[in-house]
Amino acid sequence: MNNLSLSTMNNNNTTTVSNVFIDEFMPLANGEFTKIYLYLLRCISNGKTNISIDCLADFFNQTEADIMCALRYWDKAGVLIASTDSTGRQITGITFCNLDSASGSTPDNSSAQLNSNQMPSNHIPSNHMHAEQSTDIYNAAASDTEVPITPDSNETCDPRSAYTPKQLEDLSEQEDFSMLLYAAQTYLGSVLNSSDASVIAYLYDSLQFSSELIEYLIEYCVSNGHKSMRYIEKVALAWADKGIQTVKQAKAASSGYNDTAFSVLGAFGITNRTAGKVEQDYIKKWTDVYCFDSDIIVEACNRTLKKTHQPSFEYADSILSRWKDANVKNTSDIKRIDMEFEQNQQSSAVKRNNAYNNAVKASNNRFNNFNQRNTDIDSLESELISNNG
């Protein structure tokens, strides 16, 4: 194969990349990470010393979590230093290291490859990850001299499931939890950000779900087309409400979905086909997230047909959502809500009737309330004749 002869006609507006980076760091890194580093290098070479995480995410069409992961990877590799705020969660600045002066001090290959491979790709790492390696995800260094980076102001986490980086690091020292994080990333096909890891930590540490149950939970949700960690957490909370603590119990609960789906289709009069994808999502929402039994769901379907005269999953969902907000647990609760609604309707009707009657009375009294004039017509006529005479 012919060799390539490289040349350039551009002597200005250039970005200088250290040969040490190309020779020693770049071959080990994920391509997306390398692009982010080169772009940051280009920014500082051009005098641009302020840039936000969300701008980087928009520029590369990636998530902000991906950008943060790339910065932490290069920090771990020793290519740059990432400064964080007091919480240790937000990266507030970066300092580029002088790689030429550190030539020959090659970064640790095992840890560098680990963080790099956590970037979403078609390649799924195999088999094993040590606990001490998984803690690298949450580590970040500090620096006195830095290029400011605007932290993501929209990154929020449910306080119920918020864990500090130190708590996550301590949990990651447990091989069971470390393997769970790795399995979750494999199922989801993406890097876990701090919020995602906090949710898993909450399920593992606070809800006391076993790693096997959490892994089955994630597998169950992903297989049904749901990769959102917030959705996974909602299903987990629903399982906790049901007292599910083992994989066997979870499988038994999820197997009841087929019976519910059959009942829903029957209630809607759909007998010639199975539920479609959108319809399945609705049913899974009602069973897995709302934790409604089949009889409650069927009752909502019956009321939907009575109201709309057609099988509308969207309308049934609006009914079930209201029942969920009203803390409905059984059909007795539905009867209670119906009775309260009827009483409110009757009370409103009485108020409307009273208001109408008062308005009618006021209208009838308008003529009688008119101040009539006390004028003698005959006297006026005599006075008019007298004046004309």
- Cβ(209)–Cβ(250) below 8 Å: no
**Degrees to nearest 5, angle at CA 185 with 180 and 189:** 155
Asked, for residue 357, whether it belongs to a domain, the answer is: no
At 160-217, the pLDDT tens digits run 446 788 888 888 889 899 899 999 999 998 888 888 888 999 999 988 999 999 999 9
Q: Which domain holds residue 301?
A: 247-335
Q: Ramachandran region of residue 307, left (φ > 0), alpha (ψ -120 to 50) or beta?
A: alpha
In a domain, residue 109? The reply is yes
Which CATH number goes with the domain that contains 44?
1.10.10
Do 252 and 147 belong to one domain? no
Residue with the bigger pLDDT between 389 and 49: it is: 49
Residue 58 makes CB contacts below 8 A (sequence gap 6+) with none
3-state secondary structure the chain: CCCCCCCCCCCCCCCCCCHHHHHHHHHHCCHHHHHHHHHHHHHHHCCCCCEEHHHHHHHHCCCHHHHHHHHHHHHHHCCEEEEECCCCCCEEEEEECCCHHHCCCCCCHHHHHHHHHCCCCCCCCCCCCCHHHHHHHHCCCCCCCCEEEECCCCCCCCHHHCCCHHHHHHHHCCHHHHHHHHHHHHHHCCCCCHHHHHHHHHHHHHCCCCHHHHHHHHHHHHHCCCCCHHHHHHHHHHHHHCCCCCHHHHHHHHHHHHHHHHHHHHHCCCCCCCCCHHHHHHHHHHHHHCCCCHHHHHHHHHHHHHHHCCCCHHHHHHHHHHHHHCCCCCHHHHHHHHHHHHHHHHHHHHHHHHHHHHHHHHHHHHHHCCCCCCCCHHHHHHHHHHHHC
144/22 same-domain check: yes
Average pLDDT of 47-71?
A: 80
Domain assignment present for 103: yes
Last residue of a domain, one of 312, 335, 358: 335
Contact 217, 250 (CB under 8 A): yes
Taking 60 as the threshold, does the pLDDT of residue 76 lie above it? yes
Of 292, 308, 335, the one marking the end of a domain is 335
Instruction: Please state, in angstroms and as integers, the Cα–Cα distance from residue 175 to each residue in 91, 171, 183, 203, 380, following that order.
Output: 27, 9, 12, 16, 113
pLDDT at 275 over 60: yes
> Does a structural domain hold residue 105?
yes
Q: By percentage, how much of the chain surpasses pLDDT 90?
A: 19
Same domain (yes/no): 45, 147: yes
Average pLDDT, rounded, for the chain: 75
CB 193 within 8 A of CB 224: no
Is 43 in contact with 50 (CB distance < 8 Å)?
A: no
- Asked if the structure places residue 42 within a domain, the reply is yes
- Does residue 261 or residue 372 have the better pLDDT? 261
Q: How many domains are there within the chain?
A: 2
234-271 pLDDT, tens digit each? 889 888 888 889 998 888 877 666 778 888 988 998 87
CA distances from 259 to 206, 262, 295, 373 (A): 32, 5, 11, 83
- Strands 51-52 vs 147-150: parallel, antiparallel or unpaired: parallel
Residue 265 lies in a domain: yes
pTM above 0.75, yes or no: no
Q: 320-371, pLDDT tens digit by residue?
A: 999 998 889 888 999 999 998 888 888 777 788 777 777 767 666 655 555 5
Q: Is position 189 within any domain?
A: no
What per-residue confidence (pLDDT) applies to 119? 36
pLDDT digits (tens, 9 = 90+) for 142-164: 233 334 444 433 333 343 446 78
> Of the residues 318, 335, 352, which one is the last residue of a structural domain?
335
Is residue 177 in a domain?
A: no
Find residue 149's DSSP bridge partners: 51
